[in-house]
Chain A
Amino acid sequence: MKVAVLKFPGSNCDQDALFSLRDDLGVGAEYVWHEEHSLAGFDAVFVPGGFSYGDYLRCGAMASRAPVMDAVKKFAAEGRPVIGACNGFQILCEAGLLPGALLLNAAQRFICRDVFLKAENHASMWTQGVDKVLRIPIAHGEGRYVIDAETLKKIEGSGQIAFRYVTAEGQRSAEANPNGSTDDIAGVLNEGGNVLGLMPHPERATKELLGSTDGFAILNGLRLVVANL
């Protein structure tokens, strides 16, 4: 299997993603430049973090209108796996592939530390392997997930809330929510469950040396999915 790791001007977690997928997870991975129009030959898409287009206008706004995103939309509509972490999450929201949007952290500061995550959906390709609280790093200034009350109700009912910020013990609390996200939401799925966006970086948690290998619980979904295609 081969994962397309997208590259936009200003992406900076593309290498983390490629090395994590290829060296740690053991799947094929290649960079795909944002001006490409096709994802032919790829089985999954990883939209990496960074500061695409300098975060100008809104985080992910310009990147979400890049030619490659038309291909990603088609790819996602076919039910194939797409994951976006950090700026990748912002891009997927801006592209309309995921509900909601990301705003400046409530505490204004850029936050770079580990968080704990609890899977709220155990049926999707991305969350089915998550059977414990995960410790995964975040590194963002604009990660406050917002969504209107009506849509929140809808995605809650349809199981589209993938992850919530929790304490190490798995409890929801104001202190466990690093950025003021609505309802402690850290990651969401599309209706089909094949597109996942999250602010934490699973690709930075696939090596003991880096402090956690909990990222595998999410990225392993790639292998399961492709085996079932």
Chain B
Amino acid sequence: MLTVRVYVTLKPSLLDSAGRTVSGSLQKLGYTELKGARIGKLIELEVDSYDEARVREMCDKLLANPVIEDYRIEAPETVTA
């Protein structure tokens, strides 16, 4: 079994209101050097065999919405548990 990682992130131009809340909370904890935080998703896919084109298809069809999100695929050989 191989693990492929897909990172889905909100486009930089969009306000991440959850990230802003987390950032505000960290600043209240004293981390004043913090200038912002953005929250994305990490999706781990278990596959029998890895075909980047097919994973890209999964991203385009369901995992990411191109209107608001970008994604990055991490191939199995570079995934370390």
Contacts and interface: CB of A to CB of B under 8 A. Distances in A.
Looking at B21, B61, B62, B63, which has the most chain A CB atoms within 10 Å of its CB?
Answer: B62
B21 A101 contact: no
Closest A-B pairs by Cβ, 5 of them? A101-B67, A101-B68, A104-B17, A108-B17, A106-B17
Nearest to B61: A65
A106 B65 contact: no
Interface of A: 57-58, 61-62, 65, 93-94, 99-101, 103-108, 144, 146-148, 180
Contact of A108 (B14, B21, B61, B67): B21
B15 A106 contact: yes
A61 B62 contact: yes
> Interface majority SS on B: helix, strand, loop or mixed?
mixed
A92 to B, nearest CB: 13
Contact of B18 (A57, A99, A108): A108
B14 A103 contact: yes
B65 A58 contact: yes
A101 B10 CA distance: 12
Nearest to B15: A106
B15 A180 contact: yes
A146 B68 CA distance: 8
B17 A101 contact: no
B20 to A, nearest CB: 8
Contacts of B14: 103, 146
25 contacts: A57-B41, A57-B62, A57-B63, A58-B65, A62-B62, A65-B61, A65-B62, A93-B67, A94-B65, A101-B68, A103-B10, A103-B14, A103-B15, A103-B68, A105-B17, A106-B17, A107-B17, A108-B18, A144-B17, A146-B14, A146-B67, A146-B68, A148-B13, A148-B67, A180-B17
Contacts of A57: 41, 62-63
Interface of B: 10, 13-15, 17-18, 21, 41, 61-63, 65, 67-68
Contacts of A107: 17
A103 B15 CA distance: 9
A117 B17 CA distance: 24
Nearest to A107: B17
A67 B61 CA distance: 14
A58 B63 CA distance: 9
A108 B21 CA distance: 8
Contacts of B67: 93, 99-101, 146-148
Nearest to A60: B65
A38 B35 CA distance: 51
A40 B63 CA distance: 31
Among A57, A93, A106, the one with the most B-chain Cβ atoms within 10 Å of its Cβ is A57
A61 B14 CA distance: 19
A57 B41 CA distance: 9
Nearest to A147: B67
A99 B63 CA distance: 18
